[in-house]
Chain A
Amino acid sequence: MIKLVNLCKYYRVGQGVKTVLNNVNAHIKPGRNLGILGQNGAGKSSLLRLIGGAELPTSGHICRHGRVSWPIGFSGGFHGSLSGRENLRFICRIYDACINEITEFVEDFSELGAYMDMPVNTYSSGMKAKLAFGLSMAINFDYYLIDEITAVGDANFKKKSKAEFERRKDHSTLLVVSHSISTIREHCDIAAVLHKGDLLFYDDMEEAITFYQALPATKH
């Protein structure tokens, strides 16, 4: 379970203050995939970074029971001059995961072949994404944080990724943030809407979607 307790997050923007979360309390239960809808700039990615622990809240705290992934698709943590294999070892070490097991899985899943031993800065962006995706699948997380599901690789790899995700659903929980209703419908069981610093939960997904659609367009 992930528990958000009195969570507040503000950013300083120029002279003003932007409120992303204003005293949010929530329980995210395992087993039911949660979709969080939000308009552009509502703070979806920030919320995900907070849950993942990459950022600290302004006040309040987050309790995590279970392993929470980094935002899936994030490949910024790779060091360009190290090979894919060396980068992978680093992640295994910080997550206390078995290096051999993970390497085997990623080699098989990511289809990088000889490139595993080449420096990451020789990779195409697709290869980098494959490595990152394979790695996040190799480490068994209880919660997968997903920022806008973006498909990686060719049709074949997409099929494989989708199958792997389906297999995950039995023992892992997905947390998807998106501005797209179809994404949330496809992957999630329940939905919440992030709007003006509030996280509004709905038991019925359609209710959430109706509310989200009724929101006025964002002003810039």
Chain B
Amino acid sequence: MITGMDNTFQHAFKVQQRVIWALMLRESKTLFGKHKLGYLWAVIQAAFQISVFWVIREVAGVQAPHGMSTPVFLLGGFVPWFIFSNGITNGMNAINGNRALLTYPQVSPLDLLMARTLLQGAMQTLVLVVLLIASCAMGQEVSIETPHVILAALLLALILGLGGGMICSAFNLIWPATEQLVPMLLRILFFTSGLFFSMVDLPASVQGILSLNPLTHVIEMMRQGFVSGYGEQFISVIYAFSFSLSILTIGLLLERYARRYLDRLI
């Protein structure tokens, strides 16, 4: 259907793989390409945000939480957050930014979105590694007890970001006011996902409400990867996984539905 060579699923899959890879290479040059420091900016941005909250915690006299040093604790919160929120922002911009590319029949809106989100996910993972090493060099205590839990948390953040991005992208096509609304929602999530606080420190009533937010589980899971036993009573892996996969499914369905609205744009 897409290139008309042969209509097998396998062929379509191969084409999509090729397109996403090509888009990722293209994006990798355009994302930070115009700045002299290039990709270092991604590290600087993350480091800056984390430093701000580190200083706030120090000034407020909050103790280094639960067996990990403050920067590691904050990295556990901010890295999944960046992956997730970038996914959402991509959902808003990926299509508008690259609309002309849709003239090439093998490029679909989904490819634009996936390429960007995957690239940013990879980039944020790299930022995590760089900043962990930097924390270590600064004499902070860095432990990674269960790396596979960290990877699972990163993957969940990616799926949530991708699915959320698709939903936002679809709504944005149908109802352009989405673009104004989503940053507000993101702001709320920023303060309620446990980026800079720990769930276990909160009263039970607040915990109950915040535990509905899948991102909180992902973030606490990430920290559990650093220090096993952290937040165990709170984290529900099943909830985080099923929520993420549901979001992804809804996103894929909506994205397909919203394609008919694309014609208005072109």
Residues of A within 8 A of B (CB): 11-12, 49, 52-56, 58, 61, 63-68, 70-71, 74, 76-77, 79, 81-82, 86, 89-91, 93-96
B contact residues, range? 20 to 34
A79 to B25, CA, bound (A): 13
Considering the complex, give the chain B residue whose CB is closest to the CB of A74. Answer: B103
> Is the pair A54, B4 in contact by a Cβ cutoff of 8 Å?
no
Which residue of the partner chain, among A11, A56, A93, contacts B25 with CB atoms under 8 Å?
Answer: A93
Q: A64-B4, A67-B3, A91-B104 are in contact. List 16 more A-B contacts (CB 8 A).
A: A11-B263, A52-B103, A54-B102, A56-B260, A58-B260, A65-B4, A67-B4, A67-B5, A68-B105, A71-B103, A77-B103, A90-B22, A93-B19, A94-B22, A94-B104, A95-B106
Report Cα–Cα, A74/B65, bound state, in Å: 57
Closest partner residue, chain B, to A83 (CB atom): B29
**Distance in Å from the Cβ of A68 to the closest Cβ of chain B?**
7
Given that A11-B263, A53-B2, A54-B104 are contacting pairs, would A79 and B30 also be in contact in the complex, using a CB cutoff of 8 Å? yes
B18 close to chain A: CB less than 8 A: yes
| Chain B contacts for A65, CB-based, 8 A | 4
B107 neighbours in A (Cβ, 8 Å): 94
Task: Tell me which of B21, B25, B26, B107 has the highest count of chain A C-beta atoms within 10 A of its own C-beta.
Answer: B26
- In the bound complex, CA of A71 to CA of B2 (Å): 16
Cα A11 to Cα B105 in complex, Å, equals 20
Query: Nearest CB to that of A82 among chain B residues?
Result: B29
Contact indicator B103/A70 (Cβ below 8 Å): yes
Task: Report whether B263 and A55 are in contact in the complex, using a CB–CB cutoff of 8 Å.
Answer: yes
Contact B103 A86 (CB under 8 A): no
Q: Which residues of A contact B266 (CB under 8 A)?
A: 49, 54-55
Q: What are the residues of chain B within 8 A of A55 when measuring CB–CB?
A: 262-263, 266
Main secondary structure of the interface of B (DSSP, over half): helix
Please measure, in the bound complex, the distance between the C-alpha atom of A32 and the C-alpha atom of B1, giving whole angstroms: 23
Task: Please indicate the chain B residues that have their CB under 8 angstroms from the CB of A11 in the complex.
Answer: 263
* B103 contacts A63, C-beta separation under 8 Å: no
User: A-B pairs with the 6 shortest C-beta distances?
Assistant: A53-B105, A64-B4, A93-B22, A76-B100, A54-B103, A90-B26
Q: Does chain A have a CB within 8 A of B250?
A: no
CA distance A76 to B103 in the complex (A): 9
Q: Is the CB of A82 within 8 A of B103?
A: no
Tell me the complex Cα distance, A71–B104, Å. 9
- Asked if B4 contacts A63 (CB within 8 A), the reply is yes
Separation in Å of the A208 CB from the closest CB of chain B? 27
Chain A residues positioned under 8 Å from B18 (CB to CB): 93-94, 96
Minimum Cβ distance to chain B for residue A143 (Å)? 10
Q: What B residues does A79 contact at CB under 8 A? A: 26, 30
B25 in contact with A90 (CB, 8 Å)? yes
- Return 24 A-B CB contacts under 8 Å, by A number: A49-B103, A49-B266, A53-B3, A53-B105, A54-B104, A54-B105, A55-B263, A64-B3, A67-B3, A67-B5, A68-B105, A77-B103, A79-B26, A81-B30, A82-B26, A82-B29, A82-B30, A89-B25, A90-B25, A90-B26, A91-B104, A93-B19, A93-B21, A95-B106
**B23: chain A residues within 8 A (beta carbon):** 90
Within 8 Å CB of B259, what residues of A? 56
Q: What separation, in Å, do the CA atoms of A71 and B21 have in the docked complex?
A: 24
| CA A49 to CA B102, docked complex, whole Å | 10
The reply to whether the CB of B176 lies closer than 8 angstroms to some CB of chain A is no
Contact (Cβ within 8 A) B105 A52:
yes
The listed residue (A54, A58, A94) touching B19 by CB distance below 8 A is: A94
Residues of A with C-beta under 8 A to B26:
79, 82, 86, 90
Q: Chain A residues near B103: list those with CB within 8 A.
A: 49, 52, 54, 70-71, 74, 76-77
Give, as a whole number of angstroms, the nearest-CB distance from B214 to chain A. Answer: 33
Chain A residues in 8 Å Cβ range of B30: 79, 81-82
| Distance (whole angstroms) from the CB of A97 to the closest CB of chain B | 11
Q: Is the CB of A81 within 8 A of B101?
A: no
How far, in angstroms, from A70 to B263 measured CA to CA in the complex? 17
What is the CA–CA distance of A94 and B26 in the complex, to the nearest angstrom?
11
Q: How far is the CA of A64 from the CA of B4 in the complex (A)?
A: 5
Which residue of chain A lies nearest to B259 when distances are taken between CB atoms in the complex?
A: A56
Residues in chain B near residue A52, CB distance under 8 A: 103, 105
Query: B29 contacts which chain A residues (CB < 8 A)?
Result: 82, 86
Q: B36 on the interface (CB 8 Å rule)?
A: no
- Interface residue? B33 (CB, 8 A): yes
Interface of chain B residues 212 through 266 with chain A (CB within 8 A) = 259-260, 262-264, 266
The answer to whether A70 touches B33 (Cβ under 8 A) is no
Contact assessment for A66 and B4 in the assembled complex, using a CB-CB cutoff below 8 Å: yes
